[in-house]
Amino acid sequence: MNLSERTQWIKSQAYQLGFDFVGISAARKLEEDAIRLESWLNKNNQAKMSYMERHFDKRIDPRLLVPGSKSVVSLLYNYHTKANQTEGAPKLAKYAFGEDYHFVVKDKIHELMQRIQEKIGKVEGRVFVDSAPVLDRAWARESGLGWIGKNSMLINKERGSDFFISELIIDLELEYDSPIGDYCGTCTKCLDACPTDAIEEERTINSEKCISYLTIELRDNAIDQKFKDQMNDWVFGCDICQDVCPWNRFAKPHNEDRFLAKKSLLDLSREGWDQMDEPQFRELFRKSAVKRTKYSGIKRNLEFLKK
């Protein structure tokens, strides 16, 4: 296969595996993103996520992460759903309704890598699903899959932002896609809707104020009382800035069985959440991303939501 045929074949295989969008860019140092990341860190916007301070050089240059790499294949996997929790229940971000995306998406990219090696020959590389120092949104932007919105999320012009972003970084030269324009315009819906004012200028997030950070990443025994009346009943993550984004009117429900929510989860009432013990938590969220915050974290969050 020539360069073009090889590129199109890889994309076709990714689509066969269920990915919704695929873009490819040359592995290189992200100079402008390095400046933005350094500024974000200097403002302490990472809050207590100290891991964001490590491996700076690898974050901005995949060739240091995967020696010999030539191409970054960025892939978007849809998780949008019309499913809803019972009215009045503490709210989960919809990406956590089903099985942990790390496992679902990683399985598919490993299959893609295997197909590439079987078809093309010796190709070396690594699979990344939100599990290493990779600037996922930046690479998706560079690969033409969308632009970084004012809420700092990658927004795809065709289907919005309800996607998991992953990468296959390989030592294979391919044809490369180009970034697209910015289509946020003068819209400020995400900034206006954020109850904690976590969205800052230059399309960045002050993690210390972000509900997703407060309910998942923050490991303190207590959440600062200044957020007491601003949590909007979110117990794990937050979808506010995406739900109000006009581009998400184009979102379509996913087709992934492993992302389907258990009826027992959707039907769980506020009283059920409050009365949940640790064995029930482990069973309900056995293969879920919610396990990241642990039972103790969920109980802390539930306690904080009480009036």
What interhelical angle do 3-16 and 101-120 show, nearest 10?
140
How many CA within 13 A on the CB side of residue 199?
18
Percent of the chain with pLDDT over 70: 100
**pTM here?**
0.96
Check residue 9 and give its pLDDT. 98
Residue 149 confidence (pLDDT) above 80: yes
Residue 166 confidence (pLDDT) above 80: yes
Q: Work out the pLDDT band at 127, boundaries 50, 70, 90.
A: very high
- CA 146 to chain CA centroid, nearest Å: 14
Check residue 202 and give its pLDDT. 75
Using CA atoms, how far apart are residues 13 and 18, in angstroms rounded to an integer?
9
Would residue 130 show up in a list of annotated catalytic residues for this protein?
A: yes
pLDDT tens track for 187-219:
999 999 999 999 997 799 999 999 999 999 999
Check residue 131 and give its pLDDT. 82
pLDDT tens track for 256-278:
999 999 999 999 999 999 999 99
Q: How are beta strands 91-92 and 234-236 bridged, if at all?
A: parallel
Residue 73's H or E segment, with its range, is strand 71-78
Per annotation, catalytic residue among 107, 130, 171, 182: 130
Using CA atoms, how far apart are residues 141 and 114, in angstroms rounded to an integer?
26
pLDDT tens track for 217-233:
999 999 999 999 999 99
Phi, psi of 226 (to 5 degrees): -65, -15
Using CA atoms, how far apart are residues 126 and 189, in angstroms rounded to an integer?
37
**By the 8 A CB rule, do 21 and 53 touch?**
no
The angle formed by the CA atoms of residues 131, 81 and 303, to the nearest 5 degrees, is: 70
Using CA atoms, how far apart are residues 140 and 145, in angstroms rounded to an integer?
5
Check residue 291 and give its pLDDT. 96
